Amino acid sequence: MTEIQEFAPAKLNLYLHVLGRDARGYHLLDSLVAFADIGDTLMVMPSEALSLTITGPFSSGLESDSRNLVWKAATALAGAFGRLPNVAVTLIKTLPVASGIGGGSSDAAAMLRALCRLWRIDPDDPRVMQVARSLGSDVPVCLAAKACFMGGTGEILTPCPPLPAAHLVLVNPGVAVPTKAVFAARRGDFTAPKPFAARPSDADGLAASLKPPANDLTDAAITLAPVIGTVLERLERTDGCLLARMLGSGATCFGLFADAATAQTARLGIEQAYPAWWTTACRLQDLPCEGA
């Protein structure tokens, strides 16, 4: 029996602006999204019925039925192509849940990619993207899994300039911050669009280019989980950190570093000081930006 393995990389909102609301009340976004070389893993194979098994360090408490976004992705894609979702799925969950790095959305997108391979569906078939959009605002960008600009409510994806090799330390203090609650807690005016036209050649250039844009959800997330502020302060005073910022709606934050050795040293220092926090070093995926 054929088994398909698909990687679900961590999503990184290098900046995130909230521009306003559309007619339905959904928030309009402007974000530069990249992906890391760490993530969850899905294994999919034909079966007599749909099943989902979840393992890994962050599997506890996750539903393995129709409430799970991976399950929903399988049934939605099968329905769009007039077939039964008869597959056995194993999800190895290595990313923290509700942490602002697109874990659930990336898992769902990986499910769609895996099924396209297994069922020999053209991934560029518009029905695949329609299913992705129906599953959540982050699923389309996770389906592409390439650095790009994300606009609208998540459905507008446009090429971005190539991003340089860069290393990051991701830190999550172990608190789950619901996205809806963070958006509801946001205060102040909406942000005007700020085009990102830089073409940085190294990590220092990337950090400099990212310093004017910010994450408009940071203050709201800190209101709900003040420890996020502690994480950012700890990253900012770490030797070699070029930039510290919250990811998505939190609570995960990243520090940007020029090389792997400096990032690993920073990770070890934070891990020793805060052993209860989830801390890992990673790098931006070496994926080209189409059209750039």
Give yes or no for residue 267 having a pLDDT over 60.
yes
Whole-number mean pLDDT of the chain?
94
Predicted pLDDT of residue 1:
61
DSSP state of 149: E
Lowest mean pLDDT among 59-73, 193-207, 213-227, 244-258: 193-207
In the predicted model, is pLDDT for residue 220 greater than 60? Answer: yes
Region 273-285: mean pLDDT is 96
* Separation between Cα atoms, residue 276 and residue 23, nearest integer Å: 43
Give me the mean pLDDT over the 225-239 stretch: 97
User: What average pLDDT does this structure show over 214-233?
Assistant: 97
Least confident of 117-126, 190-199, 262-271, 276-285: 190-199
Exposed e or buried b per residue across 175-205, where buried means at least 16 C-beta atoms within 10 angstroms of its C-beta: bebebeebbebbeeeebeeeebeeebeebee
Check whether 289 has a pLDDT greater than 50. no
Average pLDDT over residues 3-22: 96
Domain boundary among 159, 184, 212: 159
Q: In this structure, what CATH number is given to the domain that contains residue 214?
A: 3.30.70.890
β-strand partners of 168? 256, 282
What is the predicted pLDDT for the residue at 194? 80
| pLDDT at res. 286 | 57
Bridge partners, 53 (sequence order): 90
Q: Is the pLDDT of residue 225 over 60?
A: yes
Q: Which domain holds residue 250?
A: 167-283
Q: Are residues 129 and 187 in the same domain?
A: no
Same domain, 20 and 141: yes
The pLDDT of residue 197 = 84
Question: Which residue, 122, 143, 159, sits at the end of a domain?
Answer: 159
Q: Are 146 and 181 members of one domain? A: no
CATH number at residue 79: 3.30.230.10
Contact 53, 62 (CB under 8 A): no
> Which pLDDT value is given to residue 189?
92
Q: Of 159, 190, 221, at which residue does a domain stop? A: 159
Confidence band, pLDDT 50/70/90 cuts, at residue 285: confident
Tell me: the pLDDT tens digits for 90-113?
A: 999 999 998 999 889 999 999 999
30 is catalytic: no
- Indicate if 181 and 222 belong to the same structural domain: yes
The residue ranges of DSSP E strands in the chain, in sequence order, are: 4-21, 27-46, 51-55, 87-92, 148-152, 156-159, 167-172, 243-246, 253-257, 278-283
Residues 117 and 218 in one domain: no
Share of the chain above pLDDT 70, in %: 97
**In the annotation, is 138 catalytic?**
yes
Overall average pLDDT of the 56-80 stretch: 97
- The single residue of 11, 72, 93, 146 carrying the catalytic annotation is 11
Query: Around 118, how many Cα atoms within 13 Å sit in the side-chain half-sphere?
Result: 28
pLDDT at 292 over 50: no
Maximum pairwise Cα distance, the chain: 55
pLDDT at 291: 37
pTM more than 0.75 = yes
Strand order in the sheet with 243-246: 243-246, 253-257, 167-172, 278-283
Which among 30, 40, 107, 138 is annotated as catalytic?
138
Please determine, for residue 38, whether its predicted confidence score (pLDDT) is greater than 80.
Answer: yes
Report if residue 135 sits inside a domain.
yes
How many domains does the chain contain in total? 2
pLDDT band at residue 196 under the 50/70/90 scheme = confident
Domain shared by 126 and 261, yes or no = no
Q: Is the pLDDT of residue 155 over 60?
A: yes
